[in-house]
Amino acid sequence: MSSEMVILLTGALVAIACALPGAFLILRRMAMMVDAISHAILPGLVAGYFLARGPDLLAGFAGAVLAAVLTVSLVEALQNTGRVGGESAIGIVFPAMFALGTFVVSKYFANVHLDADAILYGNIEFAAFDLLYINGVSFGPQSLWVMGSLCLINLLFIGLLYKELKLATFDPGLAAALGFSPALLHYALMTVVSITTVGAFTAVGAILVVALFVVPAATAWLLTDRLPRMILLAVLIGALSAVSGYAVAIALDASVAGSMAAMTGVFFGLAFLFAPQRGLAARARRLQRQRVEFAVQTLLVHLLNHEQSTEQKAESAISHLNSELRWSNRFARHITGVAQRAGLLKQTGDQLALTSQGRAKGEQRSEPYA
């Protein structure tokens, strides 16, 4: 397998493994907890390195997962003291853990494998050269084995506990009443996130892993209201970000992990602007439509109020809307145009008159105020 292929596959596997639990993390508002975990595993990795006297996959994993669980517990313990808000608790715990990790690395391991940049944005570029050896026999790139297993674990976790996770996410009270422990599920999810983070850490580093967990899932959230579709979309967007990010990185000769994270941002930006229901453009269109609808209603009710009264002629002049409803002339022309095309009024010269259809609609709307 060529080196490019290994990088590409590793990237895609990392993105998929992270995107799988991502939907639940978004819905449970745990994005920043993931940020905290991804930083806080550093001292755990260092401790593993120290205890195993060198880079060791299992020792690193064990140390990092312990550090992650410690982080989650510490944040929750701090919150429970009532002295510190949730977000402040996160802001105290993870920098402390990360500072401890970088302190130890730079003081005692100044010359070894764990260099500072790799901590922040990984070294997926070397994925092809880090081979898995068992009893001296090479089984190919380690990153593929690790990330492949993590994808499988996460798929099994979500597949087997889908119903429970869904219930605990949307209605923790009901979940508890039905006998599924939300706390247990919470810690199970955190453990899955932790081991995924540890696996992804060497490939993409502490911060970009957050992008892969959170951003594809948030993009999917913008596109759909259904959980299964959201998970599937998140996985697809994650994989797409990995592949396109790799292409960008090659073109610019820049960091692969950074480009992957940046691409998740690009896809999110597109959905942010153009998602059919939740996007900014759709929202602006909806607001505009509501504004026009409301203005038409207002106009109908106004005309209805003054029909057959002595001041009818003055009140139903189009030029009067300026002072009556504080509409600009342009807006008044636009609204009367819309109303005429809908067959709700007729305009003769400056005078507006309700059609029977317009009268019916106006009466229907003025009722609640009568």
Which residues of this chain interact with another protein, rule CB under 8 A? 26, 29-32, 34-35, 39, 78, 81, 83-85, 87-88, 90-92, 94-96, 98-100, 102-103, 106-107, 110, 116-117, 120-121, 206-208, 210-211, 213-215, 218, 221-222, 248-249, 252-255, 257-262, 264-265, 268, 272, 278-280, 283
Rounded least distance, CB 250 to another protein, Å: 12
Rounded least distance, CB 313 to another protein, Å: 41
**How many CB atoms neighbour CB 302 within 10 A?**
18
Measured from the CB atom, is 19 or 296 closer to another protein? Answer: 19
261 φ, ψ (degrees, to nearest 5): -65, -40
Rounded least distance, CB 21 to another protein, Å: 14
Identify whether the C-beta of residue 37 lies closer than 8 Å to the C-beta of residue 190: yes
CA–chain centroid gap for 366, Å, is: 43
Residues whose CB falls within 8 Å of the CB of residue 150, separated by 6 or more in sequence, listed in order = 13, 17, 195, 196, 199, 200
Task: Determine the 3-state secondary structure of 115 from DSSP.
Answer: coil
Measured from the CB atom, is 269 or 337 closer to another protein? Answer: 269
Rounded least distance, CB 173 to another protein, Å: 19
Rounded least distance, CB 194 to another protein, Å: 16
Closest to 60 (Cα-Cα) out of 44, 76, 73:
44
Identify whether the C-beta of residue 127 lies closer than 8 Å to the C-beta of residue 141: yes
Measured from the CB atom, is 68 or 296 closer to another protein? Answer: 68
Rounded least distance, CB 228 to another protein, Å: 20
User: Using a CB cutoff of 8 Å and minimum separation of 24, what contacts does 29-32 make?
Assistant: 31/210, 31/213, 31/214, 31/218, 32/87, 32/90
Instruction: Write out the two tokens for 8.
Output: 């590409």
**How many CB atoms neighbour CB 281 within 10 A?**
12
Rounded least distance, CB 120 to another protein, Å: 6
Measured from the CB atom, is 79 or 312 closer to another protein? Answer: 79
Measured from the CB atom, is 16 or 321 closer to another protein? Answer: 16
Measured from the CB atom, is 111 or 135 closer to another protein? Answer: 111
Measured from the CB atom, is 178 or 273 closer to another protein? Answer: 273
Q: Please report the DSSP string for 287-334 in residue order.
A: HHHHHHHHHHHHHHHHHHHHTTSTTHHHHTBGGGHHHHT---HHHHHH
